């Protein structure tokens, strides 16, 4: 099971990720990859460009924001399970 060929770019900021995504209408974001990579291996998904946002640590957070809790888009489930802010609320 080998994915179809694609180009790969690792974004160094959210702005760069947005810019890279805008270059190619068949681009996809790669975060954890637990859904996308198996789909690519089955060739159900064949993006021409993968924009890897996995190292954008500023998208990884849990913080209180008034009466809400904000969770960053790259926060892992395991981090949520252990998070003290969520445990308290």
Residues in contact with other proteins by CB under 8 A are: 1-8, 10, 30, 33-34, 37-38, 40-41, 50, 52, 54
State the minimum distance, in angstroms, from the CB of residue 6 to other proteins.
6
Among residues 47, 87, 89, 83, which one has the least CA distance to residue 67?
A: 89
Q: How many CB atoms lie within 10 A of CB 48?
A: 14
Closer residue to other proteins, CB minimum distance, 5 or 67: 5
Output DSSP code: residue 84: H
Instruction: Using the minimum distance from each CB to other proteins, give the nearer residue, 54 or 72.
Output: 54
**By C-beta, is 41 or 64 nearer to other proteins?**
41
CB of 68 to other proteins, least distance (A): 28
Minimum distance, C-beta of residue 62 to other proteins, in the bound complex (Å): 17
DSSP code string of 7-42: EEEE-SSHHHHHHHHHH-TTEEEESS-TTHHHHHHT
């Amino acid at each position: 099971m080998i994915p179809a060929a694609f180009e790969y770019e690792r974004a160094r900021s959210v702005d760069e990720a947005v810019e890279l995504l805008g270059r190619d209408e068949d681009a996809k974001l790669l975060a954890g990859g637990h859904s996308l990579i198996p789909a690519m291996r089955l060739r159900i998904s064949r993006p021409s460009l993968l924009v890897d946002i996995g190292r954008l640590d500023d998208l990884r957070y849990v913080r209180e924001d008034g009466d809400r809790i904000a969770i960053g888009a790259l926060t892992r489930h395991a981090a949520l399970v252990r998070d003290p802010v969520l445990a308290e609320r």
